[in-house]
Structure 1
Amino acid sequence: MTARILVLGAGYAGLVAAGLTARHRDARVTLVNARDRFVERVRLHQVATGQRIRTRPIAELLDGKPVDFVVGRVTAIDAVERAVELDDGRWLGYDILVYALGSGSNAGAVPGAVEHGYPLATAEDAERLRERLAADGTVAVVGGGLTGIEAAAELGETRPRGTVRLVTAGRLGPALSERGRRHLRSVFARLGVDVREDARVTEVGADGLSLADGEKVPADVVVWAAGFRASTLARDAGFAVDEQGRMVVDSALRSMSHPEVYAIGDAAVLRRPDGQELRMACATALPSARQVARAVGRDLAGREPGPFTFRYVNQCISLGRHDALVQYVRADDRPLELILTGRIAALYKEVIVRGAFAAQRHPAMVVLTPGGGPS
């Protein structure tokens, strides 16, 4: 009997999962995505600054693979009937569901951020920001994580006549080594990016930011890069989720409440065997996609899926087109005092990004992945 495998989301995790799962003889795979083109999310800061980034149709990336591709936005999941509703009213049934809907901006966490902020979570976000940016003026980037760092550096490099401020509630690059943070500060100083650490934003207005200490940070444009959130679909369907709406899964990446459902990428709470929670990143999305394809194959064969094992290798951060930071880390993501910087690091980062994209067409490439891999 052929099992209906329904994959929701064609991001870095979902597209690879669909391609690999379709190799199983007893599986009929359907992939659902809200748009017909693949979004290189790790390049959105480049799109926002006006760089031409080629996009590819998802159907082209699936060429030759036995995957049915459906363009549509998921509006509801019926966990009892095992069916998914799309925005055009269609219902698609499943025997096994792979939930890979990723994450979006959490701008709603702070008053005014939705109305006045420009997130960098989708292709539409990046295009909207690109249309708003001028060659001069002041841009405030909120968030000191990787998205905020990459956006601030790209803005500083491409807008030398403008002012860029990076505002973060904690330290700049909290997951980096001291050497890594020193390099960031030197790059930002060279690019003219003003960094404000330990500055919690309480409100976003049309003219800038309000901080917890009462200070105002003027800005013509606010880029919101202070974290991401998962879709509410899993919670609404009655699946076990965490406080961020991510699906809670077991060691094989199966839903803790619905074993016929798997979740991967940003949409799931992924953990190492020692219990450490993995960060939302392409580095974890690709290996989790490979794991779920293997797990589904064992499931179809009536065998118990094996556990997801993972180790980190490094973090790769672009700092404009001519510099980058490769932060080497221990298996549990703790930083080492070993970094790679400059043009060679920029080249390394570009190779990693291109490799992540190439894996969408050739999913069997996912053995060692950007920043990490199976242990």
Structure 2
Amino acid sequence: MTNNRETGTHRVLILGAGYAGMAAAIQLAARGKRREDVQVTLVNAQERFTERLRLHMSATGQRVAELSIPELLEGTGARFVRGWVTAVDADAKLVRIDDDRVLHYDTLVYGLGSVADTAAVPGVEDHAYTLNNVQDAELLADRLGRLGRGTVVVGGSGLTGVESAAEIAERYPELDVVLLGRQEPGAAMSPRPRAYLRAALARLGVRVLSEVEVVKVLPDAVELAGGELVAADAVLWTSGTRVSPLAAAAGLTVDERGRVVTDAALRSVSHLDVYAVGDAAAIRQGYGVMHGTCQGGMPTGVHAAVSIVRTLDGRRPKAFRFGYYHTPVSLGRHDAVVQFTHPDDSPRRVYLTGRMAARYKETVTASPWPTYGRMKKLPASGAFWPRGGRFTRVRGAR
């Protein structure tokens, strides 16, 4: 790797302070404390860290901790820059922030993540709420708090849709909550936890419509493929995600969804000085391409940091290996279901339900913060991420 000719410093620029980007920044800064030739800069559009695992709580008016990115970075030596990334020039090795600022890099970590896909279905952009950030969640919370009575439609029966529908139904029992999706909620789970999930939704009064497709969102309803209208006083859209077009515009090789295609070490296959992490990356493992979750995002950030340090030390980066461990789903504040999985994310026979599962889910949701704290104090040989409430050493950290 080359350094900046003027200062002799290797500039690592990290775009996006989600779970993956934060892990990369803290891990890299912690491992580079003793060396003066590495400068770590983290860029994000806002100073508040978005706890995506708790957005369904914010959307129902519940108070959650306000986590400051500069405070999370405190003591690491990493620099924080607030601003919107508007362009990446992968050939000139520069990034434009808010159009009028330019940051140069020697190594780039691309972790701009994903947002709800509001473009695939007409009307979603204009008439539906999303859960991309805290501001989105607070807008929905304000709407729900003013509804009194009415119908809330949650579009998308994936995990975000299920958690949101359950949270809304529990918090606002006077509202009718309808969960729409192409698949049955919990479709990837084994039969018993899937049945428990469905029974929990029924107890909360959530009406589930499976194997349906929303073709249009109207100001007061959603239209299904068969022409049926489902009345809605508010629509929350959780079906599908999209990534920023910046990677494709920069000339990085991307897949059909616009995610950066990586090699085994998480480097862009077209630009080896660019690492891609989290939802922004198309990372292939033996079982297929990883899907975006905090569970997988943090390890990608850690691995990118470790790989950068190895390369700076003149060693080859090692291949990234990741296996899934669990699928925890909250069903309100005191209920949940946890499906333990094989590394390829297929369900095991083991699962948890009820209050024990809710406590487990809360442990998992809270686990990034002690993990980040441990990263700040890492010895040169350590690297950890949370796994089932425990800390697991990264294979090939050294």
8 Å Cα contact 2:325/2:387 also seen in 1: no
Q: Which amino acid aligns with 1:327?
A: Q
Alignment-derived partner of residue 3 in structure 2: none
Alignment-derived partner of residue 2 in structure 1: 9
Q: Deviations over 1:120-161 (max 9, x none)?
A: 121121111111112421000011111001000101100111
Alignment-derived partner of residue 182 in structure 2: 169
Alignment-derived partner of residue 101 in structure 2: 90
Aligned to 1:75, which of 86, 91, 99?
A: 86
Alignment-derived partner of residue 117 in structure 1: 128
- Asked if 1:309 is matched to 2:321, the reply is yes
Alignment-derived partner of residue 4 in structure 2: none
Aligned to 1:13, which of 14, 17, 20?
A: 20
Q: Which amino acid aligns with 2:124?
A: A
Taking a change above 3 Å as real, the CA distance of residues 88 and 76 of structure 1, as seen in their structure-2 partners, is closer
Cα distance in 2 for residues equivalent to 1:41 and 1:72: 20
Q: Deviations over 1:237-278 (max 9, x none)?
A: 111111111111011000011000000001101222x15111
Partner of 2:284, secondary structure, is coil
Alignment-derived partner of residue 357 in structure 1: 369
8 Å Cα contact 1:100/1:263 also seen in 2: yes
8 Å Cα contact 1:5/1:28 also seen in 2: yes
Q: Deviations over 1:98-123 (max 9, x none)?
A: 00111111011100011001111211
> Within 5 Å, which residues of 2 pair with 1:184-263?
184-263=197-276
- Asked if 1:329 is matched to 2:341, the reply is yes
The CA RMSD over aligned residues, in Å, is 1.5
How far does residue 41 in structure 1 lie from its aligned partner after superposition? 0.8
How far does residue 371 in structure 1 lie from its aligned partner after superposition? 8.6
> Within 5 Å, which residues of 2 pair with 1:92-171?
92-133=103-144, 134-171=147-184
Q: Which amino acid aligns with 1:2?
A: T
8 Å Cα contact 1:113/1:204 also seen in 2: yes
Cα distance in 2 for residues equivalent to 1:345 and 1:193: 20
How far does residue 218 in structure 1 lie from its aligned partner after superposition? 0.8
Cα distance in 2 for residues equivalent to 1:371 and 1:317: 15
Cα distance in 2 for residues equivalent to 1:345 and 1:130: 26
Alignment-derived partner of residue 5 in structure 2: none
How far does residue 298 in structure 1 lie from its aligned partner after superposition? 1.2
* Structure 1 segments unaligned to the other structure (5+ residues): none
Q: Deviations over 1:289-337 (max 9, x none)?
A: 1111111011112221100011111111111001011101111110123
8 Å Cα contact 2:363/2:389 also seen in 1: no
- Asked if 1:369 is matched to 2:382, the reply is no
- Asked if 1:319 is matched to 2:331, the reply is yes
TM-score calculated relative to the size of structure 2 = 0.91
Q: Which amino acid aligns with 1:369?
A: R
Cα distance in 2 for residues equivalent to 1:296 and 1:168: 41
8 Å Cα contact 1:153/1:188 also seen in 2: yes
Partner of 1:257, secondary structure, is coil
Q: Which amino acid aligns with 1:181?
A: R
Partner of 2:216, secondary structure, is strand
Alignment-derived partner of residue 293 in structure 1: 305
Taking a change above 3 Å as real, the CA distance of residues 169 and 187 of structure 1, as seen in their structure-2 partners, is same
Q: Deviations over 1:28-51 (max 9, x none)?
A: 100100001111111000000000
Q: Deviations over 1:147-195 (max 9, x none)?
A: 0010001011001111000000122222211112101111011000000
Alignment-derived partner of residue 59 in structure 2: 48
Aligned length: 374
Partner of 1:36, secondary structure, is coil
Partner of 2:119, secondary structure, is helix
Taking a change above 3 Å as real, the CA distance of residues 318 and 7 of structure 1, as seen in their structure-2 partners, is same
Cα distance in 2 for residues equivalent to 1:203 and 1:278: 30
Cα distance in 2 for residues equivalent to 1:173 and 1:216: 25
Partner of 1:312, secondary structure, is coil
Q: Which amino acid aligns with 1:288?
A: T
Cα distance in 1 for residues equivalent to 2:155 and 2:105: 40
8 Å Cα contact 1:179/1:337 also seen in 2: no
Q: 186-195 vs 331-340, which deviates more?
A: 331-340
Taking a change above 3 Å as real, the CA distance of residues 81 and 371 of structure 1, as seen in their structure-2 partners, is farther
8 Å Cα contact 2:19/2:294 also seen in 1: yes
Q: Which amino acid aligns with 2:20?
A: A
Cα distance in 1 for residues equivalent to 2:370 and 2:99: 31
Partner of 1:37, secondary structure, is coil
Q: Which amino acid aligns with 1:52?
A: R
Cα distance in 1 for residues equivalent to 2:369 and 2:309: 24
8 Å Cα contact 1:36/1:57 also seen in 2: yes
How far does residue 362 in structure 1 lie from its aligned partner after superposition? 3.6
- Asked if 1:61 is matched to 2:100, the reply is no
* Structure 2 segments unaligned to the other structure (5+ residues): 1-7
Alignment-derived partner of residue 33 in structure 1: 44
